[in-house]
Amino acid sequence: MSRSGFERKEHPFGQAVSNLIDRLSDLPGIGRKSAERLAHHLLACPERDAQALANAIIEVKQSVHPCSTCFNLTEGDICTICGDPRRDQHVVCIVEQPRDVTSLEASGVFRGLYHVLGGRISPLDGIGPENLTIDALVRRVRNDGVTEIVMATNPTLEGDGTALFISNLLENDSVEITRLARGIASGSVLEFANKEMLADALRGRSRF
């Protein structure tokens, strides 16, 4: 059975097409029907376009790897953010995945550095602190003059648990620990906010 629950069987066009649909349907957010549409698009497009896509996939797998400092994705030894002297070297934002860095950078507000954990502590999934880059984070804080870390783990049970674990590890270090504000977004209406959003907004209220 495939991830989507459909039984994998040979496509009427042959095993090669069937294999392609199977691989595409394994991608996140791609169901069997979407995989079939993508496969037919690739069959219909010029061979050079299909080859260019295949080459791009191979190239990114061969050249992109974690930054040696923050574990964001990069093609060099360190990522462009860690290598930017204009960034505040003393403030580090902690996120779960590289895609979270992309989201925060899109805001254009944060000018510090990042640290990518590579996930979150989740005992039910067999993920403990030793499976993340927490030890490397502690070394950065203690060796690189970090004065503030911003907890930007996802606001989930596991994300909050991971943030709590890290804050406990650093409780005796001279570093300020903050977290992203939560609650009511600008332009929203109270009646449409759920109770978790309202609770976060009340707990995180600030002076007017």
* Residue among 169, 187, 188 at smallest CA distance from 121: 169
CA-to-CA distance for 54 and 61, rounded, in angstroms?
A: 11
Which residue type does 53 have? L
- Positions of the chain with pLDDT under 70: 1-12, 190, 206-208
Cα separations (Å) of 203 from 4, 20, 95, 193? 40, 50, 22, 15
Alpha helices in 64-207 (DSSP H): 98-107, 134-143, 157-169, 195-203
15-63 maps to CATH 1.10.8.420:
yes
Half-sphere exposure at residue 137, Cβ-oriented, CA atoms within 13 angstroms: 32
Cβ within 8 Å of residue 125, ≥6 positions away: none
What tens digit of pLDDT does each residue of 28-76 get?
999 999 999 999 999 999 999 999 999 999 999 999 999 999 999 999 9
Domain ranges of the chain: 15-63, 78-203
Strand partners, 66: 73
pLDDT at site 10 = 58
pLDDT at site 200 = 80
Name the pTM for this structure.
Answer: 0.83
Cβ within 8 Å of residue 136, ≥6 positions away: 71, 115
Cβ within 8 Å of residue 9, ≥6 positions away: 18
| Domain 78-203: CATH architecture, name and number where available | 3-Layer(aba) Sandwich (3.40)
